[in-house]
């Protein structure tokens, strides 16, 4: 039985993706990245909670210092404020971390080649999201071709994005149906005890639960 | 005048590539990666020496812990011995670090997007080399497409590989012609005072200088 890697940030999307992957693969390995984001500790906790929930032994936590040094995003540079949410704004928001998914995927591929995993699951969402360019399926398709060319000839690794065309509402409903532990996830971009409900990520989450007519389990 | 990033390991190829890039761009930014390789300190020294030689101010040194944790290569896992050279062996040698160039390039692209660099120079060599899959031009072509899809729409970044089809001999002759500081470079895979002259990297270098009919300036 082949093995799959799941990229798990600790947010809802990666939680539901883990749930989907667990139905398709008997062996999962979870990858989490600390990249100096404001909510690093909170996200790491959510990652560990999800890992424990699914009793997955194989995990890798990577410290990626480059984003913090490079900056250019409100998530990694404290001089750039986290924008107040504006989901109707079609511009790429200040939370965009340049080419983040390529950095994370590259590490996942290195790991996959060593542990012989055949698939990498990513909980990226294309439409109902913040519009990050590295969350588009066209990017993952192009990256898959780069994997084919840049690894050993007998290495075949697919990038699976089961949520890519879903809305937040649909992701939540799928998560609930699959019994995904949404109560363990963290979405807020700010580093505080309770979600700010003011950033894009909180706003997307709130709208999703509202449309799904479900109460968000992390809110009192 | 636009800016270019050069990936500089500290070896001959990246040194000559820096020299070529310096003729085409008035502003260079150099990227070096520590990845827990055995010769990390020696390579970092070579990087700094090359940077000083060209009086380049803009540089970024990234610590990539993932390769060390992931292993799978004699360069990053001390349990895997550095193979004795066998340049006629067509198999990928034990020094192959899985998907290394994608990890490094991804960081370079993140940086390029923030500092607005239009080109990334890589001293990869396809034929006269160790046969690493992520040193083939077909990989860089595929990766360039992934950059196009995964960055902002107005971001255009090219990957330049001026040495890709050259032999080691030709690289050395080009370096000498351009006045590249080959005496500052380091190639050996082993962590010792003088090159082992027994690993693939030393063997490729030795053969290159022999064919170029030039004495290697780092050897007495």
Give the residue, B39 or A167, on which the prediction is more confident: A167
Residue A126 lies in a domain: yes
Is residue B39 very low, low, confident or very high in pLDDT (cuts 50, 70, 90)? confident
Residues in Cβ contact with A57 at an 8 Å cutoff, skipping those fewer than 6 apart: none
- CA dist., res. A33 & res. A106, Å (int): 12
Nearest CA in chain A to B62: A66
- CA dist., res. A40 & res. B161, Å (int): 36
Nearest CA in chain B to A32: B66
- CA dist., res. B220 & res. A58, Å (int): 49
Residue B217 lies in a domain: no
Give the mean pLDDT of chain B. 92
Q: What is the pLDDT of residues A32-41, one digit of tens each?
A: 999 888 889 9
Whether residues B100 and A111 touch (CB distance < 8 A) is answered with: no
Q: Are strands B58-63 and A3-7 parallel, antiparallel or unpaired?
A: unpaired
For residue A196, the tally of other CB atoms under 10 A from its CB is 16
Is residue A127 very low, low, confident or very high in pLDDT (cuts 50, 70, 90)? confident
In the Cβ-directed half-sphere of B7, how many Cα atoms lie within 13 Å? 25
Helices (H) and strands (E) in chain B, counts: 7, 5
Interface of B with A in 161-220 (CB under 8 A): none
Q: What is the pLDDT of residue B1?
A: 63
Q: What is the CA radius of gyration of chain A?
A: 17
Q: Which of B106, B126, B132, B144 to mutate to test the interface with A (most CBs of A within 10 A)?
A: B106
Whether residues B60 and A71 touch (CB distance < 8 A) is answered with: no
Is residue B54 very low, low, confident or very high in pLDDT (cuts 50, 70, 90)? very high
Whether residues A146 and B148 touch (CB distance < 8 A) is answered with: no
CA dihedral A188, A194, A197, A199 (to 10 degrees): -30
- CA dist., res. B101 & res. B104, Å (int): 5
| Percentage of chain B lying above the pLDDT 70 cut | 99
A140, A106 contact by CB (below 8 A):
no
Nearest CA in chain B to A101: B150
Whether residues B102 and A98 touch (CB distance < 8 A) is answered with: no
Q: Is residue B148 over pLDDT 70?
A: yes
B136 touches chain A (CB under 8 A): yes
- CA dist., res. A209 & res. A64, Å (int): 32
Residue B174 lies in a domain: yes
* Nearest to A199, CA basis, from A74, A77, A46: A74
CATH number of the domain that B199 lies in?
Answer: 3.40.50.620
- CA dist., res. B80 & res. A109, Å (int): 20
Residues in Cβ contact with B13 at an 8 Å cutoff, skipping those fewer than 6 apart: B123, B124, B125, B163, B171
The encoded tokens of residue A95 equal 């939370």
The tally of domains found in chain B comes to 1
Give the residue, A96 or A120, on which the prediction is more confident: A120
* Nearest to A2, CA basis, from A116, A96, A84: A116
Average pLDDT of span B138-153: 96
Claim: this prediction has a pTM higher than 0.90: yes
Residue B183 lies in a domain: yes
Whether residues A62 and B69 touch (CB distance < 8 A) is answered with: yes
Is residue A84 very low, low, confident or very high in pLDDT (cuts 50, 70, 90)? confident
Expressed in percent and rounded to 5, the helix, strand and coil fractions of chain B are 40, 15, 45
Q: For the residues of A73-124, what is the DSSP string, one character each?
A: STTT-TTSPPPPP-TT--SPPTT--TTHHHHHHHHHHHHHHHHTEEEEE---
Residue A220 lies in a domain: no
Is residue B220 very low, low, confident or very high in pLDDT (cuts 50, 70, 90)? confident
Q: What is the pLDDT of residue A1?
A: 63
B95, B189 contact by CB (below 8 A):
yes
Residue B188 lies in a domain: yes
What value, to the nearest 5°, has the Cα angle with vertex A70 and ends A64 and A75?
75
Distance from CA of A79 to the nearest CA of B (A): 14
Lowest mean pLDDT among B70-84, B123-137, B193-207: B70-84
* Tokens 């909170």 found at: A42
Average pLDDT of span B106-118: 95
Q: Is residue B108 over pLDDT 80?
A: yes
- CA dist., res. A208 & res. A42, Å (int): 21
- CA dist., res. A106 & res. A111, Å (int): 9
| Percentage of chain A lying above the pLDDT 90 cut | 70
Lowest mean pLDDT among B2-6, B38-42, B113-117, B178-182: B38-42
Residue A218 lies in a domain: no
Lowest mean pLDDT among A150-164, B118-132, B135-149: B118-132
A113, B109 contact by CB (below 8 A):
no
- CA dist., res. B34 & res. A150, Å (int): 21
Q: What is the pLDDT of residues A163-215, one digit of tens each?
A: 999 999 999 999 999 999 999 999 998 888 889 888 888 999 999 999 999 99
B67 touches chain A (CB under 8 A): yes
A91 touches chain B (CB under 8 A): no
Whether residues B110 and A101 touch (CB distance < 8 A) is answered with: no
B112, B72 contact by CB (below 8 A):
no
ipTM of the complex: 0.90
For residue B127, the tally of other CB atoms under 10 A from its CB is 12
Host domain of residue B162: 3-212
Give the H or E element holding residue B15.
helix B12-24
Give the residue, B211 or A190, on which the prediction is more confident: B211
Residue A217 lies in a domain: no
Give the residue, B75 or A8, on which the prediction is more confident: A8
Which residue in the set B60, B96, B103 is minimally distant from A106, CB to CB? B103
B25 touches chain A (CB under 8 A): no
């Amino acid at each position: 039985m082949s093995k799959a890697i799941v990229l798990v940030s600790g947010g809802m999307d990666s939680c539901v993706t883990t749930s989907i992957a667990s139905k398709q693969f008997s062996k999962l390995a979870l990858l989490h990245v600390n990249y100096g984001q404001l909510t690093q500790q909170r996200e790491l906790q959510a990652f560990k909670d999800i890992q424990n929930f699914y009793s997955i032994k194989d995990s890798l936590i990577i410290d990626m210092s480059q984003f913090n040094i490079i900056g250019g995003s409100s998530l990694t540079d404290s001089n750039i404020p986290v924008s107040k949410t504006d989901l109707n704004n079609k511009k790429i928001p200040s939370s965009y971390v340049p080419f983040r998914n390529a950095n994370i995927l590259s590490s996942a591929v290195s790991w996959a080649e060593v542990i012989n995993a055949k698939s990498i699951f990513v909980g990226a969402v294309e439409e109902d999201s913040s519009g990050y360019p590295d969350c588009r399926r066209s990017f993952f398709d192009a990256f898959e071709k780069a994997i084919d060319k840049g690894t050993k000839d007998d290495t075949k690794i697919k990038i699976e994005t089961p949520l890519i065309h879903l809305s937040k509402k649909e992701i939540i409903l799928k998560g609930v149906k699959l019994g995904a532990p949404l109560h363990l996830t963290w979405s807020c971009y700010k580093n505080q005890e309770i979600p700010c409900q003011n950033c894009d990520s909180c706003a997307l989450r709130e709208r999703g639960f509202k449309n799904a007519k479900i109460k968000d389990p992390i809110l009192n």
